[in-house]
A and B are shown apart, each in its own frame.
Chain A
Amino acid sequence: MSFFKKLKEKITKQADSVTEKFKQGLSKTRDSFAGRVNDLIARYRKVDEEFFEELEEILIAADVGVTTVMELIDELKMEVKRRNIQDPKEMQAVISEKLVDIYRGDDDNLATLNIQENGLTVILFVGVNGVGKTTTIGKLAHKLKSEGKTVMLAAGDTFRAGAIEQLEVWGERVGAEVIKQSAGSDPAAVMYDAIQAAKARHVDVLLCDTAGRLQNKVNLMKELEKVKRVIEREIPSAPHEVLLVLDATTGQNAMSQVKIFKEATNVTGIVLTKLDGTAKGGIVLAIRNELNIPVKLVGLGEKMDDLQEFDPEQYVYGLFADLLEEPQP
């Protein structure tokens, strides 16, 4: 189990509180995903075709998606052949390793938020309806504030009833100014105002909310392009991040969301929310694998500090945590 040892060593260097958050938040996912993998490993005496078939089912049940599952299974089969693995117990490390590999992607640096050392950082949030954009902004504002940054919020969801008020409540909670106009106004105009205000008040980070929209609504996607254009015009290097907020319970439609939102706004990262449910969010594996967009933040609960930077090692450790603590038979 050298892989797990390495993983654990790497993780113990980090703050315990972060590890605990991942362990806590992923407990339900762990029960259903890792639990099933472990059960599978315990039941089989040999790594054979049937073993892989069941593994395939577990992955599909985690929303990983047919294409990526097939690829992953093929790669695992090759790995098994190469290392001449017979015992299913060895598969645990192989599977986790593969998962970390995919989650991490080719470039480690990509996964951290691009916050400017000096001057204003603008982060634009986009996504379909009901994924948790406004909540994520509230939580991220809290996180940035606790790191000593000044934060401003732009109420760009001028469409949904109560959206502006929702952001205002968050602004009060975390102590960040909210730039808004009345409901129904042009979101691009709100962004313009917000950037001027952020510049004038020398704010470190401006978090821009937008209305949820289904990606097949062409006119609404055009509106989003305009919002981004206005930001770019005011600050050529901005937005420094365009984060697509994705609900972990979403199935294969997430692929379409990522593709189309990327076309419209050049998404730089993904925020995976609601991971504290029983959904496994396996679709981000497919997204990483097929579209190469990194997960940057994960929502692991309802509390203000439950938004964490995504760390593939922590994530996989969170998934298999119990195994590492109990002595292996």
Chain B
Amino acid sequence: MAFEGLADRLQSVMNKIRGKGKVTEADVKDMMREVRLALLEADVNFKVVKDFVKRVSERAVGQEVLKSLTPGQQVIKVVKEELTALMGGEQSKIAVATRPPTVIMMVGLQGAGKTTTTGKLANLLRKKYNRKPLLVAADIYRPAAIQQLETLGKQLNMPVFSLGDQVSPVEIAKQAIAKAKEEHHDYVLIDTAGRLHIDEALMDELKQIKEVTKPDEIFLVVDAMTGQDAVNVAQSFNEQLGLTGIILTKLDGDTRGGAALSIKAVTNTPIKFVGMGEKLDALEPFHPERMASRILGMGDVLTLIEKAQAAVDEEKAKELEQKMRTMSFTLDDFLEQLGQVRKMGPLDEILKMLPGANKMKGLNNIQIDEKQISHVEAIIRSMTKEEKMNPEIINASRKKRIAKGSGTSVQEVNRLLKQFDEMKKMMKMMTTMTKGKKKGFRFPFM
């Protein structure tokens, strides 16, 4: 997961200070050295690191800490606040032109993921904002780039405007806008060719496209794995084109993604979206405060809740809660539960959003095999209604039948039954616990 390493390092530093009665200047210095190294290893630009460390040290050593009753906590708070500030104030939205179509230009280096992101953005615009985008294939240089966008268009069932690779991108963009007006598309997404920020001829081409199409947004697509050079690239694109936003891709990798921090700090352009997977719906809004929480190992609870709300039917959730209380939770409910959780996304991603999850070493590297869950579903589906209600009646011959029906083995059936049994026991414990003491959930340092 993104920023994991940074979170780990900061966490170990924070743990040393957390709970201390007093933070001395030497403590802060120690901590800041670790913070500096962690940020550098996370690919945050060294200049940005310097500023950050300086600012945090000043605030941490200053009166704020001394005044506070629990200085350790105060320092963590300072670091988190500064980190959030560094990544930008708040979440940003996509522009809407007063007179449609709204034009969005996608620019960036080769291989950053512009074409894929163009497809994802179009999908998001249609799904979330109910828009009707037109995709424009303006990458005439890379072999088969046009086919790539056309294939994505087919997958999304969306029109792609293309004039082949013999017409200049400026002309393509111009005609695309006319076409969009004619066919009442409210968004035009122009996929441009990847280019080096120092390639004058190709940068001029982008300026011309900008001139002709008057885009409402110019998004720089940046690979989250980019190192120290991210700053130069972003700065150069920004100076030449005037960027309105950044889209960070491949954040579902294990990169620490320090580029996110530096680009924002240097260009002062907001990070609007992040690419979180290879599927066309894996584009998410960027939330600086949530990301900062994640960096500090506080978990991304907000995203998790949002995902759960999108996937879980409230009525059903209430019903389930009732069942858990009255202990009438059956394998059928379990199956439904699995389905709902799966709707939220890949399970390992969900797990990692839980607070403290990246502190638990085992959980850190856990890879949930989605196939195994399919097996579980198959096993339950191969049971009779009666068996699902009362798993106790499942004897050896029934197990054999279930295994055969689901294409699994008796061992797997046994394992599932055992797990289900243990789950029920845990539920029982949990319900008695919450009945007993009404102690609410507490955040690590509140």
Enumerate chain A interface residues (CB-CB to B < 8 A): 28, 32, 57, 60-63, 65-66, 128-132, 138, 159-163, 165-166, 168-170, 173, 183, 214-216, 218-219, 247, 249-254, 256, 274, 276-280, 283
- Residues of the A chain whose Cβ atoms lie less than 8 Å from the Cβ of B149: 161-162
Given A130-B113, A276-B196, answer yes or no on A66-B148 (Cβ-Cβ < 8 Å): no
- CB < 8 Å: which of A32, A62, A131 contacts B111? A131
Q: Contact at A278–B223, with CB atoms within 8 Å? A: no
Given A129-B250, A214-B250, A250-B225, answer yes or no on A160-B42 (Cβ-Cβ < 8 Å): no
Enumerate chain B interface residues (CB-CB to A < 8 A): 37, 40-43, 45-46, 109-113, 115-116, 142-152, 155, 196-198, 223, 225-230, 232-233, 250, 252-256, 258-259, 278, 367, 369
13 contacts between A and B (CB under 8 A): A28-B198, A32-B232, A129-B111, A130-B111, A138-B143, A162-B150, A165-B144, A214-B250, A249-B227, A251-B227, A253-B225, A253-B254, A278-B198
Q: Contact at A249–B233, with CB atoms within 8 Å? A: yes
Q: Contact at B147–A130, with CB atoms within 8 Å? A: no
- Residues of the A chain whose Cβ atoms lie less than 8 Å from the Cβ of B232: 32, 278
Q: Contact at A216–B253, with CB atoms within 8 Å? A: yes
- Residues of the B chain whose Cβ atoms lie less than 8 Å from the Cβ of A254: 225, 227
Q: Contact at A130–B223, with CB atoms within 8 Å? A: yes
- Residues of the B chain whose Cβ atoms lie less than 8 Å from the Cβ of A169: 143-144
Known: A129-B250, A132-B110, A252-B256. 19 other contacts (CB 8 A): A63-B228, A63-B229, A128-B225, A128-B250, A130-B111, A162-B144, A162-B149, A169-B143, A173-B143, A214-B253, A249-B229, A250-B225, A251-B43, A251-B230, A252-B42, A253-B225, A277-B197, A277-B198, A278-B233
Q: Contact at A63–B227, with CB atoms within 8 Å? A: yes
- CB < 8 Å: which of B40, B112, B155, B256 contacts A130? B112
Q: Contact at A252–B43, with CB atoms within 8 Å? A: yes
Given A63-B227, A66-B37, A278-B232, answer yes or no on A161-B152 (Cβ-Cβ < 8 Å): yes
Q: Contact at A162–B147, with CB atoms within 8 Å? A: yes
Q: Contact at B253–A251, with CB atoms within 8 Å? A: no
In the assembled complex, the Cα of A183 lies from the Cα of B154 at a distance in Å of 13
- Residues of the B chain whose Cβ atoms lie less than 8 Å from the Cβ of A138: 143
Closest chain B CB from A55 CB (angstroms):
13
- Residues of the A chain whose Cβ atoms lie less than 8 Å from the Cβ of B152: 161
- Residues of the A chain whose Cβ atoms lie less than 8 Å from the Cβ of B146: 162
Given A249-B223, A278-B198, A279-B227, answer yes or no on A214-B254 (Cβ-Cβ < 8 Å): yes
In the assembled complex, the Cα of A252 lies from the Cα of B145 at a distance in Å of 29
In the assembled complex, the Cα of A266 lies from the Cα of B252 at a distance in Å of 24
In the assembled complex, the Cα of A219 lies from the Cα of B148 at a distance in Å of 24
- Residues of the B chain whose Cβ atoms lie less than 8 Å from the Cβ of A183: 151
